[in-house]
Amino acid sequence: MTIYLMTIAILLLIAPLLLSFIKALKMWLLYKKPISIFQGYRNFSKLMQKETLVSQEASIITRVAPFLVLSPLLATLLFLPPVTHGAFYVSFVDAFTITGLISLSTFFLMLLGLDSASSFGGMGSSREAFIAALVEPAMVLTIFSVSMMAGDLGVGQAGANLTAHFPKEHTASFLFAGISFFILLVAENGRIPVDNPETHLELTMVHEAMILDISGVYLAIVEAASSVKFIIFSSLFASLFMPFGMQFGFLAALVIFLAKLFLIATAIAVIEVNTAKLRLFKVPNLLGIAIVFAFLSLITFYVLGA
């Protein structure tokens, strides 16, 4: 139980660090002077001290939605797979519930975008709705496939099972599911090539457009939510698709786990530096690839048993 609580606390603490790390790495790769990797914490504390500016057209939704954006994600954090062997994990939550909770958070974020009567917010919500609708089927199919290889639909149990014995005979379908999930990780967290998290240009933005009209503590909460979402996806990827290193003691296992998270962050940064953002109507092609890989994974599993 202590390990469980400590893991959650550590994940929460390093959540802003991971995003700042991606940004710093990107700047370094582009021969810019990198920002400090603690910039995320600085932004957070700065925003916490500011007053909140609320639009006069805003309703109660603006005052409630930031909390409802963050709380499903924090709840998801409680249900993640364990980082070390024998640690406590929540066994009564399965992968569908986790996708549902993430969608709940997105639902309120989209309402938040529409609340302030600004056309930017509407634009962001509309684009996010479009992307989220196409992410959903790929996500469910990937979950289905992974659940069969791991022998359980519950993420905690699945993570433990995959580490205990890796499905060597199903490497092909495992790999396909991994590719699909990685694309979903990129799409759901609004990274390049789906969305550019750094720009404030209305042609390109999705996530930033929805939150353009909130400020102060509310903005801090929503920013925290996006970093928590990244940590959720990357630790799911680390536990389900890089299932090794759990058998060591707590400290060693935790270090390996964090190394995996930073590895994923590095991969994201390298992809972001090397690709351009896709046009909105090209994004379905990328998500289509995710859907096809998810189907491929299932078909290989069923037909070839590989």
Partner 1 sequence: MFQFDTLSLLFVFLILIGAIPNIFYSYGYLPHIERKVHYQLHYFAFIGSMIGVVISANALMFLLFWELMSLTSWQLVLTEAKKKKTIDAARFYFLMTHFGFLFLLLFLLIATDGNLELGFAQMQGIVGRFAYPTLLFFFIILGFLSKAGAVPLHVWLPYAHPEAPSPVSALMSGVMLKVAIYGLFRFLFDVLYPWPLEWGVLILVIGSLSSLVGVLYALSEHDIKALLANHSIENIGIILIGFGMGMIFESMHLKVLSSFAFIAALFHTFNHMSFKSLLFMGAGAVLHQTHTKNIEKYGGLIKAMPVTALTFLLASISISALPPTNGFLSEWMIFQSMLGSSNLDNTSLKLAIPFAIFALAMTGGLAIACFVKAYGITFLGLHRSSNAKHAHEVNRLMRLGMILMAAVVISLMLFMPFYIGWFDRVLTGLGHLSIYDKIFPDGIWHMHSVAIHGGVVSPLFLLAALIGITALLMYGYKALHVKERIHRTWSCGYRTSARTQYSATGFAGPIRRFFGWLYKPHEHFSKKDIEGGSGKFVDLHYEVHIKPLFEATLYESVGKAVNRISYWIYRFAHFEQIRYAAMIFNLTLMVLFSYRIFAHQFSWPTLAIEGTIMLISIKILIIGEKR
Site for partner 1 in 203-262 (CB under 8 A): 212-213, 216-217, 221
Supply the angle between the helices 95-115 and 60-78 in degrees, to the nearest 10. Answer: 160
For 71, 110, 245, 286, the CA distances from 258, given in Å and listed in that order, are 23, 31, 11, 28
Min dist CB 298 to partner 1, Å, is 5
**Options 4, 28, 41, 130; binder of partner 1; rule CB under 8 A:** 130
**Options 18, 25, 87, 141; binder of partner 1; rule CB under 8 A:** 141
Q: Which stretch binds partner 1 (CB under 8 A): 16-24, 25-33, 68-76, 81-89?
A: 68-76
Sign of the alpha-carbon torsion through 16, 19, 21, 23? negative
Q: Which of 272, 142, 126, 141 is nearest to 205 (CA)?
A: 126
Residue 57 burial by Cβ neighbours in a 10 Å radius (0-12, 13-18, 19+): exposed
47 makes contact with partner 1 (CB under 8 A): no
**Options 20, 106, 180, 226; binder of partner 1; rule CB under 8 A:** 106
**Options 57, 171, 255, 304; binder of partner 1; rule CB under 8 A:** 57
DSSP string, 258-286: HHHHHHHHHHHHHHHHHSPPPPGGGHHHH
Q: Which stretch binds partner 1 (CB under 8 A): 13-21, 80-88, 267-275, 280-288?
A: 280-288
Binding to partner 1 in span 71-90, by CB under 8 A: 71-72, 74-75, 78
- Closer residue to partner 1, CB minimum distance, 87 or 95: 95
104 makes contact with partner 1 (CB under 8 A): yes
